[in-house]
Amino acid sequence: MSLEMFISALVDGVALGFIFLMLSLGLSIIFGLMRIVNFAHGSLFTLGAYIGYEIASRTNNIIYGILVSLLSIGVIGAFIEKYFLKYRKDPLIQVIVTIGLMIIFDRLAWIKWGDITYIWTPQWLEGSLRIGSIIIYSYRVFIIIVGLIVSAGTYYLFTKTRFGLFVRAGIDDREMIQAFGSNIERLFTITFAIGSMLAGLAGFLLVPWQGVYPLIGTNYLLYAFAIVVIGGLGSIEGTIIASLLIGIIQQLCAYYAPYLTEISVFIVMFIILYLRPQGLFGKVIA
């Protein structure tokens, strides 16, 4: 029960929180705007991790890994939306299609990369920083910094740009935004691509810390669903706050009560939903 351990757990928690944030934000915005529950979202996380890993380990450059994973998963996301989801508006069909994609992607990943966990850390981010007797791993700090940049960028995109205004209006009323001249279909594809990009980035950022294996994304997706529900469906602020909260809680459990780590998310979800069914900032009771 030392201060050093607590701070270490907190830093890990915030870093994990940002990973959750990037993964969950995509899910939340896609659901909020398009009412699509994307079960393949986790597979995009996994794919981003693998693609980023391949590029980064060969070029020995984490920035290239980040850029390539962002771009490639963005393109894949746009492709999925345009060719698999766009004209299938029945929610049940969408769920079945995305589950199918999840199974296919995850299996293909297993075939290509196998069962082992790949980890790669850039040399300049190995090791740790020392503040007094407190040790903080450099890579966690890197995740937090990237997370802050991505969050700021996403926040700016959705609150200060014309595109963001249209997405927020579309989340409020999908039909009326069309009645005022907005081609919502294009908005959908772009939004789906952005949400997917964030998932891919999150997956790659986790590689130096926890590595990548075929089912990692789909495992994290489970937490992401819980986080989105805790934060409140349709609420961007809710997703952000819930992600950081769950990241911290999970890491605190990992340090102090390891047997609770896996289920801590769901305990929190149960409590929040019991007290407040719409989630912390929810607009929709689903």
Partner 1 sequence: MLRVKNIEVHIGSLYILQKISLELYEKETLFIIGSNGAGKTTLLKTIMGFYRPFSGSIEFRGLDITYLPPYERSKLGIKYAPDNRRLFTSLSVEDNLMIPLLADGLPKNKILDRIEYIYNLFPDLKRLRKLKASQLSGGQQQMLNIGRAIISPNTKILLLDEPVEGLSPLYVSKITNALSELAKEGMSMIIVETRPTLMKKLKGRCIVLNGGRVVFDGTVEDLVIKQDLIKIYFG
Q: Which residues bind partner 1 (CB under 8 A)?
A: 162, 165-166, 168-169, 171-173, 175-184, 283
CB 202 within 8 A of CB 73: no
Closest CB 235 distance from partner 1, rounded Å: 9
Measured from the CB atom, is 171 or 226 closer to partner 1?
171
Closest CB 163 distance from partner 1, rounded Å: 10
Question: What is the token pair recorded at 212?
Answer: 């990548």
Measured from the CB atom, is 88 or 107 closer to partner 1?
88
Closest CB 171 distance from partner 1, rounded Å: 8
Longest dimension (CA), the chain: 61
> Could you count the other beta carbons within 10 Å of the beta carbon of residue 126?
11
Measured from the CB atom, is 126 or 172 closer to partner 1?
172
**Full 3-state SS string of 48-77:** HHHHHHHHHHHHCCHHHHHHHHHHHHHHHH
Amino acid type, 231: G
Closest CB 178 distance from partner 1, rounded Å: 4
Closest CB 184 distance from partner 1, rounded Å: 7
What Cα–Cα distance (Å) separates residue 262 from each residue in 75, 128, 139, 271? 32, 26, 23, 16
Measured from the CB atom, is 158 or 192 closer to partner 1?
158
Measured from the CB atom, is 92 or 131 closer to partner 1?
92
